[in-house]
Structure 1
Amino acid sequence: MISTHLLGALGPTMLAVGNVASGTVMSLFAQSGTMVQAVLLVLIIFSISSWGIIFYKIYQLRQAHAASQSFATLFRGTKDFATLAGANMNAPSSPLARIFATGYQEFSQWRQTATQATPTEHRASANLENLELTLRRAVREQMTWLERTLTFLATTASTTPFIGLFGTVWGIMNAFQGLSTAQSATIQAVAPGIAEALVTTAVGLLAAIPAVMAYNHFIRQVQVLTAEMDGFSAELLSRVRWSLQDGPQSAPGGASHAVR
């Protein structure tokens, strides 16, 4: 789903990159000066790295979405938290499963403490507050995990056009310096240098356009997953709070491990 839409949108750009790389860029690269070649190499490295990240994020977010949907279905159909904790081992790519694991660990410590002291309303309220804070922290951790490497795409999108522009300015300077020593100031004398200069801007844009499109797409996907994580955390906390209304033995992880 994610890969089809994104790659469909980036398809023309990929074709353009291939056409340029096989023709103009390679021929002009061989004729360029050292500085322009260095700029082109930097841009190519940025482009290759960003494409690697794009394909990785497509896979990662697709896996995270599918695994989270499966775990959410299991969560809503299972009353036994211990069973969910075991199922969590089979869903390592699910942000919801990781959030549940963090919350379940906090809840298990809570239950161990409750067996050593008489539970009170104040203690239960404090435990619920701690669980809520734990779930919020877990959501933030999963957001950080999902957003990892997106910074590089943003950096590529914002810097490669300027790197390409630097190569263009440098190439134009060399072109005009060559024109000053030429016997005749004709377009034929300056055209090769201008073309050499402008190709760096073109390569910079070809590196930036896929990066900015992919970045915006992935940010939207992360926002959707974040909304799902917030909803799941609220649902988990609500189940624990609701179960406590019938007493500690009805709480998940108690004697029956059951939740309504």
Structure 2
Amino acid sequence: MDFSLSGLWHEMGLFARLVVIVMGIMSVTSLLVVGERLLVSFKGMSDSKVFASKLASLLADGPGRLDAAADTKFGKDIGYLGRTLRAGLVAYKGSVHGDKDLCFESVARALERQQARELAVLKRGHGWLATVGSTAPFVGLLGTTMGIITAFEKMAASGSGGLGTVSAGIAEALLTTAFGLLTAIPAVMAFNYLAGWVDARAVDISEASNEFLDLVARRLADGPSEEEEEGEESEAAA
């Protein structure tokens, strides 16, 4: 009996081979999901830091610079934080001439909606990792059960219960169990890491949104800017 991986593969039954193939597909897909999520997540964090630096420099002179920030073109690569705050800037620019309470509520809702969208994007693929982590051990257990059944079938066919009779079936059962654990453990570790990372980014987005709302509230409390007053006077004169 050859107990190498190739030898065990040749000794496996059809069902056990199918179990190993399924877990191989699950494992490779999980690795691809993790790689893609890491690239997207860390690029988004880098872009968000650049955007935050640009916005902070624009608003360094106080909330009165919100009008200039709303008219600034930041580009496409601004990260999850940039997209969230840009939604607030767009809402502020669209309702700044209206009622102050309505303007504030509009900005708050825009920030909340965009935050929910960004978190949903950051969590993309997590469901697959959770599914693999929770089901792979059971798939391996299914292969284990079938391996034990194979061992007993060979024992019954030979009419004896020696170790040599059942060794192939037991090895097949243990191998599928090992594949199940090797597939599940990295998926669970990656899911926990990514979930914690997203939770931390949710705190960052929430804090940035609250700071932005504070600026909007102060800006609205200060009254219309000089540019707005000049525009209103021109409209009145016309």
Question: Considering the TM-score relative to the shorter chain, is it more than 0.5?
Answer: yes
> Which of 33, 46, 70 is the aligned partner of 1:66?
46
Identify the match of residue 164 of structure 2 among 183, 188, 202: 188
Partner of 2:134: 158
| Distance (whole Å) between structure 2 residues aligned to residue 248 and residue 30 of structure 1 | 80
Q: Residue 132 in 1 paired to residue 108 in 2?
A: yes
Asked whether the 8 Å contact 2:70–2:93 carries over to 1, the reply is no
Q: CA 1:83–1:90 in structure 2 vs 1: closer, same or farther (change >3 Å)?
A: farther
Give the stretch that moved more between structures: 210-219 or 124-133. Answer: 124-133
The CA deviation string for residues 145-176 of structure 1, in whole angstroms up to 9 with x for no partner, is 00000110010000000000001001110110
CA gap 1:105/1:190 in 2 versus in 1, 3 angstroms: same
Q: Which has the larger radius of gyration?
A: 2
**Root mean square deviation, CA, Å:** 2.1
In 1, distance between residues paired with 2:10 and 2:73? 57
Q: Is the 8 A contact 2:69 2:89 kept in 1?
A: no
Q: Which residue of 2 aligns with 1:6?
A: none
Query: 2:149 maps to which residue?
Result: 173
Residues 192-226 of structure 1: CA deviation (Å, up to 9, x unaligned): 11101111110010000000011111111101111
Structure 1 counterpart of 2:169, one-letter code: G
What is the TM-score when the length of structure 2 is the normalising length? 0.86
The answer as to 2:236 corresponding to 1:228 is: no
Return the letter of the residue paired with 1:176: F
2:91 to 82, 102, 106: 106
2:187 pairs with 1:211: yes
Distance 1:128 1:175, change over 3 A: same
How far does residue 106 in structure 1 lie from its aligned partner after superposition? 1.5
Does the 8 A contact of 2:70 with 2:90 survive in 1? no
Is the alpha carbon distance of 1:200 and 1:254 closer, same or farther for their aligned partners in structure 2, counting shifts above 3 Å?
A: farther
Letter paired with 1:128? F
Residue in structure 2 matched with residue 142 of structure 1 by the alignment: 118
Which amino acid in structure 1 is aligned with residue 75 of structure 2?
M
**TM-fit CA distance, 1:55:** 1.2
Q: From the superposition, tell whether residues 232 and 188 of structure 1 become closer, same or farther in structure 2 (CA, over 3 Å).
A: same
| Residue identity matched to 1:225 | R
Task: Specify the code of the residue in structure 2 equivalent to 1:65.
Answer: M
**Partner in structure 2 of residue 96 of structure 1:** 81
Residue type at the aligned position of 2:90: Q
1:36 equivalent in structure 2: 16
1:103 shift after superposition: 1.4
Q: Could you give the per-residue CA deviations for residues 23-69 of structure 1, whole angstroms, max 9, x where no partner exists?
A: 94443223211111111111000000001111111212211221112
2-side partners of 1:24 and 1:110: how far apart? 71
Alignment check: 8 A CA contact 2:146 2:173 kept: yes
| Structure 1 residue identity aligned to 2:18 | A
Structure 2 residues without counterparts, runs of 5 or longer: 60-64, 231-238
**Cα distance change on mapping 1:126 and 1:191 into 2, 3 Å:** same
Aligned length: 222
Whichever residue aligns with residue 95 of structure 1, its letter is Y
Does the aligned pair in 1 maintain the 2:70–2:89 contact within 8 Å? no
CA apart distance, 1:232: 0.9
Shift of 1:254: 5.2
In structure 2, the residue corresponding to 1:89 is in which secondary structure?
coil
Matched, 1:55 2:35: yes
Q: Does 1:200 align with 2:185?
A: no
Q: Distance in 1 between matches of 2:90 and 2:181?
A: 48
Alignment partner of 2:225: what SS? helix
